[in-house]
Amino acid sequence: MEWKISDNPVEYEGALAAMDARVAAIHEGGADDLVWLLEHPALYTAGTSAKRDDLLDERFPVFTAGRGGEYTYHGPGQRIGYAMIDLKKRQQRPDIKRYVFDLEAWIIGALAEFDLAGERREGRIGIWVNTDAGEKKIAALGVRVRHWITLHGVSINVNPDLSHFSGIVPCGISEYGVTSMKEVLGRDVSTADVDAALKKSWAAVF
């Protein structure tokens, strides 16, 4: 199991190519599982279920992603965790739904390190928190599986410009807002602290 942390923003197409290469290497037996923590420049990605009407303002580059889900924003202040994991080695019977459940638990555990209560919602993908303005989404998930090896992963809103989400209907859900760790906590959280929480929570879940 390997961890990789990128301190500088990673271009989206380069990240896709790197994930593809790592999955191929894992499949061929020459590489370990990898969790890659990084940040992207401001952009939108369209998952396999994206609806064109949900792209409201094409203010940033739009990329087609092979992951499941709809439109998502990525940008500065958001921590992304891409997981390339061989499910055949980690699960007695490979189960994508169980893997998604575990990814949710990974985020919930990391948020708990900051006394944030992240929660699942039936029928709504992602992790949610209760705020004074109602429940809002603080983290998103989108996965793809090839040869039972996972690609893509999760994104946690640490301190992004939340106005950037207004260019899309995030994950096709218009009736609930989006928030960040900074907005809920009322203080800055360092990327290093988030990374440490993600590593700790990963060990507990996986």
Residues with a known catalytic role? 171
pLDDT in tens, 122-148: 888 899 999 988 999 999 999 999 999
pLDDT in tens, 6-45: 999 999 999 999 999 999 999 998 899 999 999 999 999 9
Q: So what's the pLDDT on residue 92?
A: 87
Spatial contact of 165 and 123, defined as CB atoms under 8 Å apart: no
Quote the strand ranges of 132-174, DSSP E: 134-146, 149-157
**Mean pLDDT, range 63-74, rounded to an integer:** 89
pLDDT in tens, 148-187: 999 999 999 999 999 999 999 877 666 678 999 999 999 9
Q: So what's the pLDDT on residue 180?
A: 98
Residue boundaries of the structural domains of the chain:
2-205
pTM of the model: 0.94
pLDDT in tens, 93-121: 999 999 999 999 999 999 999 999 999 99
Q: So what's the pLDDT on residue 147?
A: 94
CA-based nearest residue to 116, from 197, 200, 199: 197
CA-based nearest residue to 75, from 164, 184, 176: 164
Residues comprising the chain, all counted: 206
Domain made up of 2-205: CATH architecture: 2-Layer Sandwich (3.30)
Pairing of strands 2-5, 34-38: parallel
CB-neighbour burial class of residue 122 (10 A; exposed 0-12, middle 13-18, buried 19+): exposed
User: Which residues lie closer than 8 Å to 115 by C-beta, 6 or more apart?
Assistant: none
Q: So what's the pLDDT on residue 173?
A: 67
Q: Which helix (H) or strand (E) holds 34?
A: strand 34-38
CA distance 179 to 157: 7
Q: So what's the pLDDT on residue 158?
A: 98
Q: So what's the pLDDT on residue 172?
A: 66
